Amino acid sequence: MSTGAGGMALAMAAAVRSGERSARSVVEEHLAVIAGREDEIHAFNLVAGDAALERADLLDRSIGAGDDPGPLAGVPVALKDNMCVRGVPTTCSSRILEGWRPPYDATVVEHLSAAGAVVIGKTNMDEFAMGSSTENSAFGITRNPLDATRVPGGSSGGSAAAVAAGFAPLALGSDTGGSIRQPAALCGVVGVKPTYGAVSRYGLVAFASSLDQIGPFATSVADAALLLEVIAGHDPLDSTSIPAAAPDLLGVLGRGVEGLRIGIIEELSGSGPRSLEGIAPDVQARLAEAAAALEAAGATVEQTSVPFTVYGLSAYYVIAPAEASSNLARYDGVRYGLRVEAGNAVDMNTATRTAGFGDEVKRRIMLGTYALSAGYYDAYYGKSQKVRTLIIEDFLRAYESYDLLLSPTAPTTAFPIGAKTADPMLMYLNDVCTIPSNLAGHPSMSVPFGVGDDGMPVGVQVLAPANSEPTMFRAAAVLEAAAGGGAS
């Protein structure tokens, strides 16, 4: 849960930079926490203990010589296992990438290194980021640190669990349809999906290229702001990167929401005649309390309609699999990763993909290939892109009247392991509140706000127009303060 406005990572980096603490002691402390619970939680595919200690010693020598390593000096950061780290196995939790070690660092990894951070491990995930519970990994499930009988959410469940368990104060995940925000809500941490293009995707293994975005997990809004400031900014290696500098987020956290106009999205709220079904009553109650907290802090809050958000789930599950079927065609047993030998190239390719991909990945590849096939392209993929445009236009209209929008992050609190694995459609519904932001390319974030009837965390989602992260973080800081002040 939140550590309040100060931020654990901010304090840790300040102590290391001043010489009050050594980077080695910080890393050793976190490795000890990992050793104590990782067997139970399985947040990691790889714990980089020796490399992290070597990096910490290097930072300590640098500080001893009078250098300043940067704003994340000595802070352990966990990376979702779809981000490339040079020479370190990167699996996407799939057998098909067996033995692959990237020859380069992702841009976000370079930014972390330049800021003095320490990569402490690669986290478990739903295979190729396809899932909402981290039960689709080839290397076993991840458990929610707050209740090990429940899922941590997905697909970035390992990163969310790592932060919630205290294995690392910060983590990076990727968000294609809610894969940062939904696990953040279920694990009771802060999770941010930035504006599409605000953070470089260079070195992120692609799932759906028009939707994927890297973002932070943290135990506080301030720490999430710090990490996003570090990883954001223009990258010429990513053709979709926005040509703008990283935003100032830490500097705006104390500004409050006085005078802001905030709309509660009726279709995603669980209340009102146009609302989608399935938003649990305890989640609806926390949303109402969050709205009241923002109002008490000086914002104008009222319900509004963003009509085409109700079609977001349907459009997403055509567009994302279509892009995945194209992106995953590269795993052919020829260039890298797993290769199952066979009598000819076609049989080898088939055998490799049959053995290497899990059921959910195969399901989405087949759905996507069908949607892109001759005779069906216009009926499915083309129509879904038109719906996407209508969603974007709906949001633009809403933002003419409101500075920010508000909704639940997930329809329910964390559900039991195995509860939804037999019904893919039931599983897909976990992303109903988060998908619209991905389709629009807009930023949104999940802030812990109290607990449900079962005592598990509830997340409230703050949505903002493109490139409006500073305003979004202002509201998030107010919600965090209100939740810390006794929100039920």
Q: Are 156 and 200 in contact (CB under 8 A)?
A: no
Task: Report the C-alpha gap between 367 and 363 in whole angstroms.
Answer: 6
What is the architecture of the domain spanning 254-314+379-484? Alpha-Beta Complex (3.90)
What does the block give as tokens for 175?
A: 């968000």
User: Given a cut of 90, is residue 3 above it in pLDDT?
Assistant: no
When pLDDT is averaged across residues 454-470 and rounded to a whole number, the result is: 98
Residue 486 pLDDT exceeds 80: no
Q: Strands 190-193 and 444-451: what pairing?
A: antiparallel
How does residue 487 score in pLDDT terms, banded at 50, 70 and 90?
A: very low
Q: How far is Cα 149 from Cα 421, in angstroms, rounded to an integer? A: 14
Give the C-alpha separation, 453 to 307, whole Å.
29
How do the domains of the chain map onto residue ranges?
8-253, 254-314+379-484
Average pLDDT over residues 470-485: 94
Rounded to an integer, what distance in angstroms lies between the CA atom of residue 243 and that of residue 454?
A: 45
pLDDT computed for residue 271 by the predictor: 85
pLDDT at 488 over 70: no
Stretch 383-410: mean pLDDT: 98
What's the rounded Cα separation, in Å, for the pair 27 and 73? Answer: 11
Q: Do 348 and 342 meet the contact criterion of CB atoms below 8 Å apart?
A: yes
| Residue pair 63/222 in contact by the 8 Å Cβ criterion | no
Rounded mean pLDDT of 238-258? Answer: 96
The CATH number given to 8-253 is 3.90.1300.10
Q: What is the pLDDT of residues 314-355, one digit of tens each?
A: 999 999 999 999 999 999 999 889 999 999 999 999 999 999
Return the SS3 of 172: strand
CA angle 17, 21, 23 (to 5 degrees): 75
Lookup result for tokens 């005649």? 273
The dihedral through the CA atoms of 445, 450, 451, 453 has a sign that is negative
242 in Cβ contact with 111 (< 8 Å): no
pLDDT of 4 higher than 50: no
CA distances 24 to 14, 37, 169, Å, are: 14, 20, 15
Closest CA to 148 of 39, 282, 30: 39
pLDDT tens, position by position, 251-290: 999 999 999 999 999 999 988 888 999 999 999 999 999 9
Tokens of 53: 């200690």
Mean pLDDT, the chain, whole residue set: 95
Contact by Cβ (8 Å): 442, 464: yes
The pLDDT value recorded for residue 272 is: 81
Separation of alpha carbons 278 and 61, rounded Å: 54
Q: What is the pTM of this model?
A: 0.96
What is the set of active-site residues?
80, 155, 179
pLDDT band at 484; cut points 50, 70, 90: confident
- Cα 382 to Cα 268, 327, 440, 441, 474: the distances in Å are 25, 18, 16, 18, 38
Give me 482's structure tokens: 């209100």
- Tell me if domain 8-253 and domain 254-314+379-484 are identical in fold: yes
Distance CA(484)–CA(488), nearest Å, equals 10
Helices 107-114 and 221-231, packing angle to 10 deg:
110
Q: What gap in Å lies between CA 479 and CA 447, rounded to an integer?
A: 7
